[in-house]
Amino acid sequence: MEPKGNNNPKMLEKPWLSTALNARSLGSGTETIVFAHGFGTNQSVWDKITPLLAEDYKVVLFDWPFSGAVDPTLYDPLKYSSMEAFADLLITLMDQMDLKATTFVGHSMSGMIGCIASIARPDLFKTLILLGASPRYLNIDDYEGGFTSSDVDELLQNMESNYDSWVTAFSTLAVDPNDEPSVNKFRECLRGMRAGVAASLAKTVFYSDHRDMLEKIETPCTIIQTTSDIIVPFSAALYMERKIKGKVTLEVLDAKGHFPQMTATAQLVDVLKGVIGL
């Protein structure tokens, strides 16, 4: 069953947005880092990272409407059927919180959301850090996105037929299986989402294509990729490195899986500090 539409008008009013999305600030400093989680998780996915950065930087966290950590009526599958809608929401949130010239760390789908927002409002972003991000997930012609159409069809069918079984299998594939606590954390985050929301969002993510947008990105970018990621192949990171218009740096973490913020925390923090500077 598809989730119901958003009937909560307060979600659209600026004074309510930061509260609705559980937005919060930690630490202090002249540099501000905004962390945006990806599909299936919430801001707790950054729990190992933020204590190591809040001593030197202002850290901003929030939950997307699809997160199991927010009011479930806030997610409208029609409204949020594109990454552009999430980018608009991000811009509104950052304006409300009076954030400017930030370092934006977008994991997975949030990488492209940040890119879209940076094109519309470059004043909000000093640097984009794209962690396990991809402009397109489906293979096409000579582009390797990592999935065939039949792969995605099967994934969606499994989600809709037996969500709990799909969660168990997918969490083991997406996260380094040698890190059982992180696998369990992702699994519980996925279970916090309603099945209808997860399936709707998966369609939005896996059928998205933002390759043409890359040549419009002028904000400096750092692409961070693990050596083995079943969700985003290394070829996608190389494609972004070639196509993004602005200055681009590619950093490779010696780690497995799609969630280095949980499984390779020290490596990731070193890269982040190198990008931002002290």
58, 71, 163 from 5: Cα distances, Å:
35, 13, 21
Q: Which residues contact 270 (CB under 8 A, 6 or more apart)?
A: none
Instruction: Name the nearest CA neighbour of 141 among 227, 76, 228, 235.
Output: 235
Give the pLDDT of residue 90: 98
Does the annotation mark 258 as catalytic?
yes
**Catalytic one of 63, 76, 179, 229:** 229
Structural tokens at position 94 = 């950052």
**Catalytic one of 37, 107, 210, 258:** 258
User: Which letter does DSSP use for residue 4 in this model?
Assistant: P
**Do residues 14 and 96 make contact, with C-beta atoms less than 8 angstroms apart?**
yes
Does the annotation mark 210 as catalytic?
no
Segment (H or E) for 242: helix 234-243
**CA angle, residues 69, 72, 73, in degrees to nearest 5:** 145
Residue whose structure tokens are 């509104």: 92
Structural tokens at position 73 = 């009526």
Residue type, 131: L
Residue whose structure tokens are 């380094």: 176
**Catalytic one of 18, 67, 108, 182:** 108
* Chain CA centroid to CA 103, Å: 14
Global pTM reads 0.93
- Between the two ends of the chain, the Cα-to-Cα distance in Å is 49
* Residue pLDDT, tens place only, 219-275: 999 999 999 999 999 999 999 999 999 999 999 999 999 999 999 999 999 999 999
Give the pLDDT of residue 14: 53
Query: How is domain 9-276 classified at the architecture level of CATH?
Result: 3-Layer(aba) Sandwich (3.40)
Give the pLDDT of residue 69: 83
**CA angle, residues 206, 210, 212, in degrees to nearest 5:** 150
Does the annotation mark 108 as catalytic?
yes
15, 52, 169, 212 from 260: Cα distances, Å:
34, 15, 19, 27
Q: How far apart are CA 48 and CA 30, in angstroms?
A: 22
Give the pLDDT of residue 77: 93
Give the pLDDT of residue 11: 45
Residue ranges for the chain with pLDDT beneath 50: 1-12
